[in-house]
Amino acid sequence: MPPYVIEPPALVTLPVAGTEARFPVRRVYCIGRNYAAHAIEMGHDPDRDPPFFFQKNPDNLDPSGEFPYPPRSTDVHHEAEMLIALKSGGSDIAVGNALEHVFGYGLSLDMTRRDLQGTAKKMGRPWEIGKAFERSAPCGPVHPVTDVGHPDHGRIALSVNGDLRQEGDLNQMIWKVPEMISYLSEYFTLAAGDIILSGTPAGVGPVAKGDVLEMSIASLGDLTVRVV
């Protein structure tokens, strides 16, 4: 094998609950406006819009428990989301077969530079500057399906410094997990290592340095992230 001309970047991996083994990450897809109440709070019609996705970078995922307040923004928001980790993929996956491709589930935050995202929206520009910045996806370990099954209902919540800010139920997702996988696979070839962030319930809001974010999903446990 020929030598590399530069040091190859490290493979991004996530912890897997209950084992020393790691989950290697390939791509990160995020769905927008997947809970009706959040779509409404952002000024959109929850019923009429088809699903849409944007991407974060694999190395934006961060299981460290710390979120460094990012540069060039004064309005950084929390979005609590269930993470879906795929063990296989393909194209044109039928809704009925989609769950066979899931390795596990976890907790994650789609941290958003809302001011920069807002400007991008207004100007019809891409969202990366608001969404895909350094360490913008704090997350917890992946819980294998063999341990937790396929959670399709149960409370999802986030508090900031002990005050409840976001609360919903996984059963309020407009596009369910199998539908998201199927839809994505019509446009992209999904593969083992792909991650999907499944959208956030209502109650998104700003964070500040020193805040402690505590997220929970029934059956998947808790995630604590400190803003530094």
DSSP-based three-state secondary structure for 210: coil
CB of 179 to Mn ion, least distance (A): 17
Of 111 and 227, nearer to Mn ion (C-beta) is 111
Of 23 and 35, nearer to Mn ion (C-beta) is 35
Distance from chain centroid for Cα 195: 8
103: its two tokens: 């390795």
**Identity at 34, one-letter amino acid code:** N
Do the Cβ atoms of 183 and 17 come closer than 8 Å?
Answer: no
Q: What sign results for the dihedral spanned by CA atoms 67, 73, 74, 79?
A: negative
Of 88 and 179, nearer to Mn ion (C-beta) is 179
Of 33 and 144, nearer to Mn ion (C-beta) is 33
CB of 32 to Mn ion, least distance (A): 6
CB of 42 to Mn ion, least distance (A): 10
CB of 50 to Mn ion, least distance (A): 17
Of 110 and 194, nearer to Mn ion (C-beta) is 110
Quote the DSSP letter at residue 47.
T
Span between the terminal Cα atoms of the chain, in Å: 42
The residue number with the shortest CB distance to Mn ion is 110
Residues forming the site for Mn ion (CB under 5 A): 79, 110, 200
CB of 128 to Mn ion, least distance (A): 14
Which pairing describes strands 28-31 and 195-197: parallel, antiparallel, or unpaired? Answer: parallel
